[in-house]
Amino acid sequence: MSQDVFSDCEKLYTLMRRFWLRVNPRLKDRLLQGQINMAQYSTLVALEELGETTMGQLAKRLQVTMGAATNLVDKLLASSFAQRRRDESDRRVVRVKITPEGKQALVERAKGFLDYAVGILSQVSPEDREKFLSIYSEIVDLTEAEARSEGAPAADADE
């Protein structure tokens, strides 16, 4: 790897860390609105992407233990954001899916994020926004291609 690329990666890491440290507290307030925590939000996103899935597949997607996934789903069940059932062909398998209330919660949180993002990106010229989004899309596509080559599940298909 050339020194220029390594240096650029260091800059990217620093910028991403600065961005996350500044934005994360604001996004938590706007995204979660006090109803669910970030781990529960991530679980809802995974359930929306996966559709009805097994607890094992959900735990794998979230990179958590089965016990942690069960705790997350229990909290979503209490809010009526998810449903859980035993698989009829194999009672040992537990299936889980997002509910219409859970999907609505994601829609509402997306509005909160979009309101925040509009406030930030409206301060950037349309030309620079277009360049940024083009480059960012290319980077996301490269990371998704690499993940697929390693056998990782597909990410969100909404582009």
89 phi, psi to nearest 5 deg: -85, -20
What CATH number should be reported for the domain holding residue 17?
1.10.10.10
Eight-class DSSP state of 124: S
Eight-class DSSP state of 52: S
124 phi, psi to nearest 5 deg: -110, 140
Q: How confident is the model at residue 153, as a pLDDT?
A: 58
Q: How confident is the model at residue 32, as a pLDDT?
A: 59
* Helix axis angle, 38-50 to 66-78, nearest 10°: 90
Q: For residue 141, is it within any domain?
A: no
Q: How confident is the model at residue 152, as a pLDDT?
A: 66
Q: For residue 28, is it within any domain?
A: yes
Q: For residue 155, is it within any domain?
A: no
Q: Which residues of the chain have pLDDT under 50?
A: 157-159
* CA atoms of 148 and 155, how far apart (whole Å): 9
Q: How confident is the model at residue 2, as a pLDDT?
A: 76
Q: For residue 153, is it within any domain?
A: no
**Total structural domains within the chain:** 1
For 37, the domain range is 3-121
Query: What does the pLDDT look like over 31-73, one tens digit per residue?
Result: 656 677 888 889 999 999 999 999 999 999 999 999 999 999 9
Q: For residue 79, is it within any domain?
A: yes
Q: For residue 116, is it within any domain?
A: yes
